[in-house]
Structure 1
């Protein structure tokens, strides 16, 4: 991954509604909820609370899919299903940390791209 790689894409979102106010609303909701959900995901994983890992991965999945965050979409689905079914437990932590890092970097890009403070 290059430092300036675009971590999200608005194409799918624009297919739903190309209105700038709608797009800003979705970005705002992402910034207000997803980074904190990712932090909660990391915490739940560290505590081996697989029910909460599933819960937060599930919450994150919709936003990641809507914003075409392809770098982590499959990882989020993997974490969600693995936690739900209590399988691949030894692989979850690395994926959760990767997801958290990408979400934080994507949030930074969005703040810059949309001139949020």
Structure 2
């Protein structure tokens, strides 16, 4: 079954250490959902500064897990420096939220968390 994250990418970061991979996955499961929600709320409230902070904060973790939303996170970051309304990034936000939620389920399954 196709995964929405790259176990190989995670393994590379962890040096192949399965226990460390599980710790990193657990940390991701703990830290990313509130950050994702905060970014959603910030965009919904048109709080561009806060939206940028959370998008930027999540970016390295999303990259480390090989989650294919880099362009969408970058688009959200770029939007925060414009006067465009939040509808401009609604598709990007939806892709990030959808992808990350799928990864959360997959990590729980793959690491028995």
In the superposition, the TM-score normalised over structure 1's length comes to: 0.85
Q: Look up the match of 1:73.
A: 70
1:14 alignment partner in structure 2: 11
Unmatched 5+ residue regions in structure 2?
none
Moved over 3 A (4+): 87-90
Answer yes or no: is 1:55 the counterpart of 2:61: no
Instruction: Please report the RMSD computed on the Cα atoms of aligned residues, expressed in angstroms.
Output: 1.6
Tell me how far 1:21 sits from its aligned partner: 1.6
Whole-angstrom distance in 1 between the partners of 2:29 and 2:110: 13
1:86 is the counterpart of 2:82:
yes
Aligned ranges 1:22-61 → 2 under 5 Å? 22-61=20-59
2:107 alignment partner in structure 1:
110
TM-score by length of 2: 0.88
> Higher mean Cα deviation, 85-94 or 13-22?
85-94
Structure 1 residues not aligned, in runs of 5+: none
